[in-house]
Chains A and B, each alone.
Chain A
Amino acid sequence: MTTTAALNADREVARVRDLKTPIGLAVFAIAALLMGFAFPRDGETTFRLSTGSDFIQLPALVVPTVGFVAAVAVLMVLMVFGALAFSFLHPRGKSPLWLVIVFVALALFAFLTWAAAGKTIPLPGLLIGALALSTPIIFGALGGVVSERVGVVNIAIEGQLLFGAFSAAVVSSVTGQPLLGLLAAMIAGMLVSLVLAVFAIRYIVEQVIVGVVLNVLVMGLTNFLYSTVLTANTAQFNSSVRFPSLEIPILSQIPIIGPVFFQQTIIVYLMYIAVFGVWFGLFKTRWGLRVRSVGEHPTAADTVGIDVNRTRFWNVLLAGAIAGMGGAYFTLDSVSAFGKEMTNGMGFIALAAVIFGRWHPIRATLAALLFGFATSLQSVLGIIGSPVPSEFMLMLPYLVTIFAVAGLVGQSRPPAADGKPYIKS
C-alpha cells in the first residue's frame, strides 16, 4: 500500500478550491447589480466609434442604459456561478482565463454605459488618451525589464524619465531639433543608469537605496535648474520643438485602430519597435540569452565565460537609454515645455508594470496599457460628467494597479539573481 502511494506521490495533486477568483468576480457582479437595479439611470448611452476626420466613418453605437446594464449584471451573476463551479469541480480549482477576460470586458462595458447615461462616450478619444498616457510607462517598464533581467533592480525609472524629459526639452529648445532632443533624453537616462550601475555593481551598494536616492536627486536637480535657468529664459531653454505627427499610409485608415495607433509621432512608433525589439532580443538572440543567464544564475554564466559584471553594466546603461526615450515623450510629443516633476510618479507605475508583467516585455506593456486606459477613462468620465465623485475617479488608475498587481499576479517569480551583486573571490 505504501509503495503505490510512494510511486504515485509525484503525480498526486492536492485538491484546492481557489475561491479568490469567484469572490473577486462576485464583488464586480454586485456592483453591476447595484448599477442595474438599485441605482438605475434612464436614457440611452452613445458610443462614438469614429472621429470627424476618419477615413471610414462608423455609425455610433446606441444602447438603452437601464436594460443593457441590468442584462449584463444578470449575465455577470451567472458567470460568477460558473467560476464557482470551476472552483469546486476543476482539479486545480482554477477558472479559465477566457471567463475572466469576458467578464472584465462585460463589467467595463456595463460601467461605461451606466456612467455615461444620456451622454456620449468618444471611444477613439478614450483609446488615443490611453495610448498617450501609456507610452512613457511602456518605455519605463521596458527599461525596468532589461535592467532587472540582467540582475540589477531599477527603482530609478522615475528619475530616468524625469531627467530624459528635462534634457529633451532643453536640447530641443536650444537646437530646434527634436531628434537631438530625443538623443539627449537617451543620454540623460544613461547618465542616471551610470550612477546606478557604478554604485550597484562596482561598489556593491544596496540597489533599492541607490535607486531611491537617484530619484530624489534628479527631482531636486531638475527643480533647481527649472526655477533658476528655465524660467529665467523660457523662450530659449524651455519651448521645445515637438515631433510632428506622422500618418502611416493605409494602416491609419483602419476604423478605430488606425487613428489610435497609426497617427502618432515617431516616439510612439519607436515604442512599438522597442517593445518588439526587447522581446525578440531577450528571447531569441545571443544577447538575450546572456542577459537572462546573468540575471538568473551569475555563477553559471561566469563558468561558461560570460563576464557577469560587464554584462550587467552595459545593459543597465541600455535600460537607462530606453527609459530616457520615455522621458522624451513628455516634452517632445505631449507638451512643448518641461514642468516641475512632470513625470508625476509614472516611473513607479512602470515599476509596478514590470512586476505585474512578470518581467516579460509584452506582458509589462499590457500592464502599462491597462494603467493608461484607467487614467484615460478617468479623464473622459470627468469631462462628460459622471455620477461617481471625481475624487474616486482620480484614484481609479492606482486602484486598478493595486488590484492587478495583488490579485491577478499571484506568485510571480523575479529573475533569481535580481538585486544580488556578483562578487568574485
Chain B
Amino acid sequence: MKLELRGITKKFGALVANDHIDLTVEAGEIHALLGENGAGKSTLMNVLYGLYRADGGEILLDDKVQHFAGPGDAMNAGIGMVHQHFMLIPVFTVAENVMLGHESTKFGGVLDLEGAREKVREISARFGFDVDPDARVEDLPVGVQQRVEIIKALSRDARVLVFDEPTAVLTPQETDELMAIMRQLKETGTSIVFITHKLREVREVADRITVIRLGKVVGEAEPTATNAELASLMVGRAVDLMVDKDPAEPGEEALVVRNLSVIDANNQYVVAHLNFEVRTGEILAIAGVQGNGQTELTEAIMGLQPRVEGSITLGGEELVGRTPRKVLDAGVGFVPEDRREDGLIAGFTIAENLMLDRSHSEPFVKSGTLQLETLATFAREKLEEFDIRAPGIETHVGKLSGGNQQKVVLARELSKEVKLVVAAQPTRGLDVGSIEFVHSQIVAARDAGVPVIVVSTELDEVVALADRIAVMYRGGIVGIVPGDTPRDVLGLMMAGETPKEAAA
C-alpha cells in the first residue's frame, strides 16, 4: 500500500514538532526516517497512527485522503505500528495481547482464545518466530516481545508497518534478524517506515532515506550515501564520528570489585559474582543489552540496592553497606541512567540542582542557611564552563533540553573532587552536539587520572570511549576485553558467548 503524508504540521504549545512534512512511501518499500532524538520522527508517526491529531496536512493511502480520529481508524485503514515502548499488556498472554481490540468472540461475548492462539501460531510459522501464544508477555525477553508486537500488527492485516526505533533494545544479532524480517515483509508487498537514528542500520536495509531535522525534512538520501554524509545531513554540520582521545595511561587499581552479587525482591540474583577492577586513568565500559544487570550494578556501587553481597573497594575503602551519602563522600561522581527521575529535580532551578548533593555542608550551607551568593557565583561559573544553554541560573531544569539537563548533571558530579566516575547511559536521548560534549568531559576526567565506569547499551558509544570493555549478560560478566575488540565479537558476547567462542 502506498502511503503519502502531505504537509503534516504538529505543534505542542510554542514548539513546532513537525513543520509541513512531506513523505511518500511506495508499496513494498522500506523507507527509513532518519533523524536525531527530538527531531520529530516519533511525533510524525504518532500523527500517522492517530495518537496525535495533526494541526495541518493530510494523510493519503493509495491516493485516498484519510481521516483518523484515533488509532482504531488508522488500524482499520491498514496501518500497523511497532512502538519503541512496546504497547503490550505485561500481565496478559501473547494471544490475549494479539486479540485485544479486535477480539473474536463466541456466544455471549466469550473470548475465542483458541482462534487467537491459532492466529499467533500461523503468523509465527510464516516468519519463523518461536512464540508461545500462552506465555505471559512480562516473562518474555524484549526481543520476543517485539515479535509479539509485529504479530499483533500483522494479525490486523497491516499493509503499512511503522517500526519506531526498533533496535534500541536488541542485541546486534537480534537486530540482524529484525532486518531479515523487514525484508521478508517487504517481499509480501508491505510498506515499511523504519524510524531510527542509527546510520549503519539505515544503510543496510533501507530502499530510500528521508532525513528530518528540527521537525523539517532536510533531505533525501540513497542507501549508498556514506555515514559521514548522512550524519552531516542529520545534524546540519560536519560531524566527527570518532571521539578524540589519546591512549590511556592506566595507573594503579582504584576500584576493586570482588564476588559482587545483587539480589532482587524476588530473591533472584540479578547481578551474580562479578569480579573486575578499574585503574586510575582508564575507562571501563560496561556493555550489554538493557536489563542484564547493569542498572543494579551501578546502584550497588552507589549504595542504592538493599541486598548486596561481596565487596567493592575504592582506594582500599569498602563501599558495600554504606549509604549513598557515604558513598558520595568517598568521592564518587554518579551520572544516573534516568536523569529526569534520578539525576535532577525538574521543579528546581539550575543553581539548586547544582548543589543537591552538597546541601549538608559548607560552602553552600552555613548554620543551616543556604549561602545564595556563593551558590550563584558557583552556578554562573558552571553554566559557562559546561556550556549549559539556559536563560540564567534561576531557570527550572525541567524547561531545559535533554542535552542541557545532562550537562547540569555532569557539572554537579564532576566539579567536586572525584575519585571515581560512574556514568550510566550518559548520552541516552541526546543530540549529537551534546553527545560530543559529554564524551569529551568523560575523556577529560579519565585524562585527569580518575577511574571511569561507563555503562552503555550503545555499541557505538562503548567502542568510542572504552579502554577496556566488560560485557554483561544475565547478571554476569561474560568477559573483559580490550577496547579495540571488533564489534561482531562484542555483539556475540552480548548474546552470552564467551570471548573465545565469539572470536572463533
Contact with B along A292-325 (1 / 0, CB 8 A): 1100110111111111000000000000000000
User: Does A92 have its Cβ within 8 Å of any Cβ on chain B?
Assistant: yes
Shortest Cβ distance from B91 into A: residue: A296
Q: How many A residues face the partner with a CB closer than 8 A?
A: 36
> How distant is the Cα of A5 from the Cα of B310 in the complex, in angstroms?
14
Contact of B475 with A304 in the complex, beta carbons under 8 Å = no
Contact of A301 with B473 in the complex, beta carbons under 8 Å = no
Contact among A6, A7, A10, A300 with B268 in the assembled complex (CB-CB below 8 Å): A10
Set of chain B residues within 8 Å of A416, measured between Cβ atoms: 90-91
The 10 tightest CB contacts between A and B, nearest first, are: A6-B476, A305-B72, A304-B101, A9-B475, A9-B272, A300-B87, A5-B273, A14-B263, A286-B103, A303-B87
> How distant is the Cα of A299 from the Cα of B479 in the complex, in angstroms?
39
User: Does A289 have its Cβ within 8 Å of any Cβ on chain B?
Assistant: yes
A352 → B minimal CB distance (Å): 23
Contact with B along A396-425 (1 / 0, CB 8 A): 000000000000000100001000000011
User: Does B428 have its Cβ within 8 Å of any Cβ on chain A?
Assistant: no
Shortest Cβ distance from A281 into B: residue: B109
Point out residues on B near A: beta carbons under 8 Å.
Answer: 12, 49, 51-52, 70-73, 75-76, 81, 83, 86-92, 96, 99-103, 105, 108-111, 152, 263, 265, 267-275, 293, 307, 472-479, 496, 498
Given A304-B71, A305-B75, A305-B102; 20 other pairs, CB 8 A cutoff: A5-B476, A6-B472, A6-B475, A6-B477, A7-B476, A7-B496, A10-B475, A13-B267, A285-B108, A286-B111, A290-B100, A292-B92, A296-B90, A297-B89, A300-B100, A303-B83, A411-B265, A416-B91, A424-B51, A425-B12
> How distant is the Cα of A183 from the Cα of B477 in the complex, in angstroms?
65
The count of A-to-B residue pairs whose CB atoms sit within 8 angstroms is: 132
User: Does A287 have its Cβ within 8 Å of any Cβ on chain B?
Assistant: yes
A372 → B minimal CB distance (Å): 30
> How distant is the Cα of A307 from the Cα of B50 in the complex, in angstroms?
13
B385 → A minimal CB distance (Å): 36
The 26 listed contacts between A and B (C-beta, < 8 Å) are A5-B273, A5-B476, A6-B272, A6-B474, A7-B474, A7-B496, A9-B271, A12-B269, A13-B267, A13-B269, A14-B269, A92-B267, A287-B109, A289-B99, A290-B101, A292-B89, A296-B91, A297-B90, A300-B86, A300-B89, A305-B75, A305-B102, A306-B100, A307-B70, A424-B51, A425-B52
Contact of B72 with A304 in the complex, beta carbons under 8 Å = yes
Set of chain A residues within 8 Å of B83, measured between Cβ atoms: 303
> How distant is the Cα of A290 from the Cα of B102 in the complex, in angstroms?
10
> How distant is the Cα of A302 from the Cα of B100 in the complex, in angstroms?
10
B488 → A minimal CB distance (Å): 19
Set of chain B residues within 8 Å of A10, measured between Cβ atoms: 268, 474-475
A295 → B minimal CB distance (Å): 9
Contact of A304 with B70 in the complex, beta carbons under 8 Å = no
Set of chain A residues within 8 Å of B275, measured between Cβ atoms: 2
Set of chain B residues within 8 Å of A16, measured between Cβ atoms: 267
Shortest Cβ distance from A288 into B: residue: B111
A291 → B minimal CB distance (Å): 11
With A7-B476, A303-B83 as contacts: A286 and B109 at CB distance below 8 Å: yes
Contact of B267 with A306 in the complex, beta carbons under 8 Å = no
> How distant is the Cα of A304 from the Cα of B307 in the complex, in angstroms?
40
Contact of B100 with A12 in the complex, beta carbons under 8 Å = no
A310 → B minimal CB distance (Å): 11
> How distant is the Cα of A305 from the Cα of B70 in the complex, in angstroms?
7
Residues of A259-300 whose CB lies within 8 A of B: 284-287, 289-290, 292-293, 296-297, 299-300
